[in-house]
A = this chain, B = another copy of it.
Amino acid sequence: MKNSHNPVRSVERALSILKCFSFDKPQMQLSEIVESVKLPKTTIIRLVASLHDQAFLQRDQATQEYSLGMALFQLGKVAESKLRLREVSRPVMEELSMLTQETIEINIVMEGSRLCIDKIDSSHTLRYSATIGKRLPLYSAASGKLLLAYMNREDAHKIIKDNLGELDQTMIEINKQLDEIIKKGFAVSHGERIPGASTVSAPIRRWDGTVVAGLTISGATIRFTPERVNQFVDLILKATGDISRSLGYKDGNK
């Protein structure tokens, strides 16, 4: 995909089978897998058998459908336990949630998507509800574009180019937007990915200044008046500053 020297093909293929499963499509028949992975059926059958043997896939006895197995749940918990970023951010998120009464979320970049790794939902009746573990596009809305702005510009361009179809903006416009995000140090969007939803987002940095995640406040646009947005920006910059400092970042310069 990206770098890949000479990875083991069958392993690469097996992992790509696992990645077919998502919140939107958590279980599939064999034929559906074949279709979405685009490999010969026999190959899929063998790989799926291996994944099944090791509990990375499981099969519903009744419907014959496959879904992700307990080994993934189990290893996922081990991975989760190691997310230092989450621990460090949690108290800050809680305070931010209290102060804003809106949904707070942390996103990171994973393989060209943004991935929500933690959230606190707002308690408003009309609220933005985030899903931990969900993969969403980087090229839309403040949470995505913020991450795009701070990543390697070359990779960012590739992602944008691959998705110009989905977008109602040109490359040049987006580029300008990304530059502005970096200049300001935060991003705001209204109704971009989700009609009626607004988002304010700012970067979290680790010791060496690298942006490792984005913190965001999201909610109904109707509540995101200019004054409140200004207030949210102040709050979120304070919050990301705190988190970054916990990660060893000394905000000396930029």
Contacts and interface: CB of A to CB of B under 8 A. Distances in A.
B74 A73 contact: no
Integer count of this chain's copies in the complex: 2
Nearest to A68: B79
B76 A46 contact: no
A232 interface: no
A2 interface: yes
Interface residues of A, number: 56
Residue among A2, A14, A16, A54 with the most chain B CB within 10 A?
A: A54
Contacts of A111: 54-55, 71
Interface in A10-29: 10-12, 14-16, 18-19, 21-23, 26-27
A80 B74 CA distance: 9
Contacts of A215: none
A60 to B, nearest CB: 10
A3 interface: yes
A21 B75 CA distance: 8
Contacts of A27: 82
- 9 shortest interchain CB distances as A-B pairs: A76-B76, A77-B133, A7-B50, A68-B79, A73-B79, A11-B50, A11-B14, A72-B79, A15-B54
Interface of A: 1-8, 10-12, 14-16, 18-19, 21-23, 26-27, 46-47, 49-51, 53-56, 67-83, 108, 110-111, 115, 117, 132-135
